[in-house]
Chain A
Amino acid sequence: MKNRLKVLRAERDWTQAQLADALDVSRQTINAIETGKFDPSLPLAFRAARLFALRIEEIFHDPALDKDRRSLAT
């Protein structure tokens, strides 16, 4: 799963530690999500969406889903 967490965080000038504190997780977890090594659970994704005041799909998206949509459109 791909995400815009790093970009959104940079736009707000937040550190990984600050974002981790706001989402009540470790800094390591934020780093693992940003680098695509770990996919967050739905509750954590909701917390991130609430924090950034965005919809979940505006932060996280599945490249496989985009591929499926493209193949359905053609």
Chain B
Amino acid sequence: MNQLKPRENGYQSRIRTNVIRLFRWNGAWGAATALMAFGPKFLWNKALVFTLLAVGLDVAVGVGMILANKNYLAELDELQRKVQLNSMGITLGVGLIAGVPLSVMDAYHVIPFHADIAYLLILTSLTFAVSNLYGTWRYR
């Protein structure tokens, strides 16, 4: 019986590192977005320079988050990448299918509320989470 030796920096260990890195970047982006959204009103009394700096910080941290996500996806194995790709495809489709009519209905006052971008963000986040869970369950 030839026993297998555990790898030094195996798949699970690399994924764990990348997930932690991705969470940190997501958290940093959330904080930078909050600073950009609420800072002008509550922290620097709408001073233009600070607002522009906050926007620049938000974009820079956002780029870092995208790169962290890209690295995370690149490290995934083929099945996990397939699950992620399916989830992203479904999310993109739902975002378009729901987003465009919502915008049109808002423009023609069909709906009694303003079609805020936040609604679309919530919908796409939920869609991604559900399709990801489904993919994981399907290949469990």
Contacts and interface: CB of A to CB of B under 8 A. Distances in A.
Contacts of B2: 12
A49 interface: no
Contact of A29 (B3, B7, B79): B79
A14 B3 CA distance: 7
Contacts of B77: 24-26, 29
Given A13-B1, A31-B140, A20 B11 contact: yes
B6 interface: yes
Q: Sort chain A's interface into a size bin.
A: 20 to 34
Interface in B58-97: 77-80, 82
B125 interface: no
A28 B11 contact: no
Given A13-B1, A44-B78, A28 B7 contact: no
Contacts of B136: 28
Given A28-B140, A31-B140, A40 B78 contact: yes
A29 B78 contact: yes
Contacts of B78: 25, 29, 40-41, 44
A21 B14 CA distance: 11
Interface in A20-40: 20-22, 24-26, 28-29, 31-32, 37-38, 40
B117 interface: no
Contacts of A29: 77-80, 139
Interface of B: 1-4, 6-7, 10-12, 15, 77-80, 82, 136, 138-140
Interface of A: 12-14, 18-22, 24-26, 28-29, 31-32, 37-38, 40-41, 44
